Amino acid sequence: MKIQRFLSFLATSVGAGLAAALIILLFSSSFNGRQDLEIIEAPAVPVNNQTGPFSYADAVARAAPSVVNIYTSKITTERVTPLFSDPFLQRFFGDSLTQTRKKQENSLGSGVIVDKKGYVLTNHHVIEGATQIRVVLASGQTMRADIIGVDKETDLAVLKILDPNQNLPAISFARSRHLRVGDVVLAIGNPFGVGQTVTQGIISATGRSQLGINTFENFIQTDAAINPGNSGGALINANGDIIGISTAIFSKTGGSHGIGFAIPADLARGVMQQLVETGHVVRGWLGIAGQDITPQLAEAYALQEDKGVLISGILENGPADRAGLQPGDIITRIDSNELTSAFEILNVVATKKPGTQVKIYGRRGSSPIELTARIQERPANPGLR
């Protein structure tokens, strides 16, 4: 009997204690304004069903045979004795005392086989001035190559391996316009001449321009390590397709700081096809010099527009001059392309074939203008856009 009373008392006490604790807890939560956390649990996904691969070995195995090392030699002239360049002696003897000698310089870079017949895409600065070019395949085989054509304005060049009997491993091209920031990329090249090397990163940005590297710029930016010797090598996606040609790095020391630039595959392919077919690249040209309109410039000169390009110079008898454009005019649109910078004019016009007519829209003072210009072929040293 006593045991039953004790158990009843214990049960009553415990129940009362739990009820009191619950009331205190609810009161405390309500008083502090706190709510229960709503944790979102990620769904359980088997490892082998995840979209991102844990190894890029298959992509590298597919692309690496197409990436080659390029070794170049060129002959330079140098003075033998610094004494002969002394201004005092040159004042009396001129260049008659000058003695020179020939010197061979060697450099290295990378390239990509883009055709089974032996065409190789690389950077112009890799082979610039070269008198002899050797291409070393991933297998270690060494072959000679000739220059088919170069395009300094995009820093691209096409070589041809001098061995027609080879069925060489050509890389496959991806459409660079489908790239997204955050996509995984791999850079394959020959940094510092150590041999073929693969580095991995992501696409940091697309459409980088006005960096002062090339005339025509539309770079892919990546944090995949790109070092001296990588120039001309392949930037590939996770499937092993080429998406760009590694070209430059942003560095104060010469080493990789995680900011590298590559020429998009779409741009490189277009240049390459023209170089193979004709030996040079044909681009449109308008013959103007322009200045970007900023709010400050618009305010300073009381311009009617605060966007567009202010024409600062026009080549006499050039396409723009014949169309009736004048210095001081403001161009806001070419055909359907809205313009915010002089760099955009350069790119828009360059894509037009010589002989193509374009509509130019803008303002002259307070009056709107609409003119028609016939594009000409861009000269080798245009000076103007």
Give start and end residues of each alpha helix (H) in 124-250. Answer: 124-127
| Cα 374 to Cα 216, 326, 359, distances in angstroms | 21, 16, 9
Contacts of 237 (CB under 8 A, 6+ apart): 59, 174, 183, 184, 185, 186, 243
Cβ of 233: how many Cβ atoms within 10 Å?
33
| Cα 10 to Cα 2, 23, 168, 185, distances in angstroms | 12, 20, 89, 69
Residue among 12, 13, 150, 126 nearest 69 (CA): 126
Q: Are 240 and 250 in contact (CB under 8 A)?
A: no
Residue among 157, 159, 162, 147 nearest 120 (CA): 159
| Cα 195 to Cα 68, 71, 237, 384, distances in angstroms | 10, 12, 21, 42
**Residue 279 three-state SS:** coil
Q: Which of 107, 151, 155, 241 is catalytic?
A: 155
Q: Are 268 and 244 in contact (CB under 8 A)?
A: yes
Residue 85 DSSP symbol: G
Question: φ, ψ for residue 159 (rounded to 5)?
Answer: -110, 165
Q: Is 280 a catalytic residue?
A: no
Q: Is 155 a catalytic residue?
A: yes
Q: Which of 231, 246, 256, 329 is catalytic?
A: 231
The β-bridge relationship of strands 357-364 and 367-374 is antiparallel
Structure tokens at 188: 């394959």
Rounded to whole angstroms, how far apart are CA atoms 244 and 240? 12
**One-letter amino acid identity for 337?**
N
Q: Which of 66, 125, 241, 329 is catalytic?
A: 125
Rounded to whole angstroms, how far apart are CA atoms 113 and 134? 14
User: Across 279-366, where does the E strand assignment appear?
Assistant: 284-285, 288-292, 309-314, 330-334, 337-338, 357-364
Rounded to whole angstroms, how far apart are CA atoms 315 and 52? 54
Q: Kindly state the helix (H) or strand (E) to which residue 268 belongs, with its residue range.
A: helix 265-278
Q: What amino acid positions are annotated as catalytic residues?
A: 125, 155, 231
